[in-house]
Each structure stands twice: as structure tokens, then as C-alpha cells.
Amino acid sequence: MPVDVASFFHAATSTWTHVAGDAATGAAAVVDPVLDFDPVAGRIGTGPAQAVLDHLRAHGLDLRWILETHAHADHLTAAAWLRARTGAPVAVGAGIVEVQAGFKQRLGLGGEFVADGSHFDRLLRDGDTLPLGGSTIEVLATPGHTADSMSYRVGDAVFIGDTLFSPAAGSARCDFPGGSAAALHASVRRLYALPDDTQLYLCHDYPPAGAAPRDRVPLREQREHNVHLAAGTGAADFVALRERRDATLAVPRLFWPALQVNIRAGELPPADDEGRRFLKLPLDADALAAKP
Ligand SMILES: [Fe+2]
């Protein structure tokens, strides 16, 4: 069944949000919605999510699913904001429970935070299918960047999260807790086995100055030209390259705020007695590397 995809680029975090609409019925899924966040002012903005909501309404689309490809470390998800306005369920890979447990420990979250996945409405496993009007969303486990990473396939479109970037930018880092370059290699091999006419929709693009960001890359182009992981790249070579590169990367700017909000599906931490909400910042330089 034909599926229409509209994509929205959040320039502040170089993130793509995709809306997949089943053309025949108007059923839609949103993949990786984004909030604005200014970490200096502590200010959250809903502009990017409102743009997605306006698109849904303008096109008469009925939102059935809000899909997270993983617990992002570079932006705050708008999943809960969108759920509150549409009633659509938020789905994520079942590996989120492990991610929640790890960050509960690292952030010293108290008893109010239960790491059981219940902040999300549906925990997905490899091979699950979700109805989308006359179409079906197929869930593919694609771990490596994180343990909970999922890709979502509908028609000839696959929303691949942070597995591959554009061919010139290569692949996503694998050094966050639960990450594994070997697992990412296997996940990409799996994506490369999909039909030749598949389009891979990116979660991020980092174009060179002056160039427009790309929202999708044909599967054939990735297989032939991805600078980190092309069809012929062996696992050992990829793991060595990925680990060498990861050793040079800094902690992302919004890492701690993003994880705190994203493990709650985009809900903010509970308010104190005066209705104020706060984010935490561990002052332990090893907090990220620590294995709880
Ligand atoms: Fe990510």
C-alpha cells in the first residue's frame, strides 16, 4: 500500500521527524518528534511539535502511533506532548527498560521513577507489527547505537533512527551505555538485505555548509557509498573504525537533559511542592562510562 512521508527538520539538533501517512485511510504515524530546549535558560519550546500537529490536522491525518526509534541523547522528545493532544500511543523498543534502569542509577532518580517501561504505551520487539490503516508497520530491531534501537518499515520506507547517517557522514556512534559497534554492523547488514527499492529515512543529517539536509537515502546508495559501512565492509574493519572514532567524540550538549526527559517518554520530572520542576546533572566525570 502506498505511504506518504512528510519530514520536518529541527535545525537546532539536526533531527528529522517523519510523518508516515497511509494514503488510502489517512492513518498516520509520527517518528521521533522533537521539542525545542534551551539548556541555559531551562526553557522548553513546542514549536517543532506544533508544526507536526498542524500538518496532521491540515491533511486530515488520524495519528495512530507515536514511534521512538530509541531514547535519544541529543534532543528532547515531544512524544508525551503529542500524546496529550491526540491520544495516540507512544511506542518504543522494549530495550528502553534497560536504558531506564541504567539512567535511573546514573542520575540518582528516586523511588518515584520506576524503570519498567510504563511511561510508554507499547514496548516493541523484533518482528512485531503495528496496523496503520490499510498498511502495516513492521518492527525491526536494529541495536548498536543503543540497545533499544528499532527501525520501522512501512511500504518501501524504513525509518532507521541512528543506525546510518547520510553516505558521506557514515554511521552513528556506539559508545553510549548499551551501544555496540559489532551489533550495529549486524543491524546494518540486515537493513542492506531489504529490497533494492527501499528508502532509508534518517533521524539526523549533518550536511556540509550550504547544502540542504537529506531526509532519506536510497538503500542502493548506502550500500555502495556509505563511508563507514558499505555492503562490502567487514565487521572487524567497521568495529575498529567506529571505536577509533568514538574515542574522539565529546558528550552531546543535551545528553543529560535529553535522557532524563526521554526515558519518561517526554514527560518532565515530577514537580516539587511549589510546582517547580528541575533537571539533574551528575558531577561525576565517570557517570556516563560507569556500568551500573
Ligand atoms: Fe541517538
Q: Give the count of alpha carbons within 13 A of 189, CB side only.
A: 12
Q: Are 54 and 85 in contact (CB under 8 A)?
A: no
Domain count, the chain: 1
Alpha-carbon gap, residue 59 to 22, rounded angstroms: 12
Task: Report pLDDT for 285.
Answer: 67
Cα 69 to middle of ligand 1, angstroms: 8
Distance 80 CA to ligand 1 centre (A): 18
pLDDT digits (tens, 9 = 90+) for 200-244: 999 999 988 889 999 999 999 999 999 999 999 999 999 999 999
Residue 267 lies in a domain: no
Dihedral sign from CA coordinates of 67, 245, 229, 183: negative
Specify if 222 maps to a domain: yes
Report the C-alpha gap between 121 and 89 in whole angstroms.
5
Given a contact cutoff of 8 angstroms between Cβ atoms, the answer to whether 72 and 258 are in contact is yes
Do 52 and 82 meet the contact criterion of CB atoms below 8 Å apart?
A: yes
3-state secondary structure of 272: coil
Backbone CA torsion sign across 34, 35, 36, 41:
negative
288 band by pLDDT with thresholds 50, 70 and 90: confident
Indicate whether 287 belongs to any domain: no
Residues surrounding ion ligand 1 at CB below 5 Å: 72, 162
29 alpha carbon – ligand 1 mean position (Å): 19
Q: Is 195 a member of any domain?
A: yes
**Does a structural domain hold residue 121?**
yes
Mean pLDDT of 124-139: 97
- Residue 214's domain spans which residues? 3-250
**Residue 210 belongs to a domain with what CATH number?**
3.60.15.10
Q: What is the number of other CB atoms lying within 10 angstroms of the CB of residue 77?
A: 28
pLDDT tens digits, residue range 2-60?
A: 689 999 999 999 999 999 999 899 999 999 999 999 999 999 999 999 999 999 999 99
